[in-house]
Amino acid sequence: MNKGKVYFVGTPIGNLADITLRALDTLKNVDLIACEDTRHSSILLQHYDIKKPTFSYHKFNEKTATQKIISQVRDGKNIAVISDAGMPAISDPGFVLLDELIKNDIEYEIIPGVSAVVTALVGSGLDTQHFVFGGFLPDKKIERETLLQKLSLAESTIILYSADHDLEKDLETCFAVLGSRRVVVANDLTKKFERFYRGVLGELKIENIKGEFVILIEGLPVHNDLNDLSILEHYNYYLNSGIDKKEAIKKVAKDRQVSKSTIYNEILKITEKH
């Protein structure tokens, strides 16, 4: 009997219309579908009238389910692996299985689809040429801070995932470790109420926190010699270049990775003394 094959299939992160034709064709033709949550996946499968047997493959049964999949594939079954949203193995189950497939020389195929990482990055307005992905921050404080300290040295955009019950804590930890940097928080991507919240770490406030979030933080800036000047000297440098006060404050704030209000208040205090 010929061996089967495992397909890692990307699924929509919100809008069901974002699934690819190749993904639909794969799901309709495999023998079994391994789902992170069978109840959640049933919404997608019913929407496209896909009637295939499903079984659970999630982080709590990943090792045993992996052996089940390998056994089924060796018996000639073709199996699709899907997560609740996006690409399997990206902050979702899939890596353990993929590792075992490689070790056992079992054939697999990646069916690409929507990714919250890339979708959020493109919409953020931050550097899209270079980025690092940290996934979900660990639960333990010391592990959270250790991971962020490693990421803090990157000059590229930092991308994290966050659940609604962790968002405030995650943003507070990011500010404590990374300081005042530009931040964009993407919420409910591809859904009806998709939002991008923009601001500075330590200042950005988000109300009615619901759903899934992607946090994108500006990378470590390349050293700017203007930051070696005093704030007033920095401000005057831009004024002397011919731009108005409002734009000068904006540029100084951007150079120093702080809010415009911080620069304005500092300049106000300095000028009041003279």
pTM here is 0.78
CATH architecture for residues 6-114: 3-Layer(aba) Sandwich (3.40)
Rounded to a whole number of angstroms, the distance between the first and last alpha carbons of the chain is 89
CATH architecture for residues 117-217: 2-Layer Sandwich (3.30)
Per-domain residue ranges for the chain?
A: 6-114, 117-217, 225-273
Nearest to 34 by CA among 9, 17, 4: 9
Residue 190 to residue 119: CA distance in whole angstroms: 9
Q: Do residues 37 and 84 touch, judged by C-beta distance below 8 A? A: yes
Measured over the CA atoms of residue 127, residue 215, residue 132 and residue 220, the dihedral's sign is positive
| Tens of pLDDT, residue by residue, the chain (274 residues) | 468 999 999 999 999 999 999 999 999 999 999 999 999 999 999 999 999 999 999 989 999 999 999 999 999 999 999 999 999 999 999 999 999 999 999 999 999 999 999 999 999 999 999 999 999 999 999 999 999 999 988 889 999 999 999 999 999 999 999 988 999 999 999 999 999 999 999 999 898 888 889 999 999 876 678 888 889 899 999 988 888 999 988 888 888 877 788 888 888 888 776 5
The dihedrals phi and psi of 269, each to the nearest 5 degrees, come to -65, -40
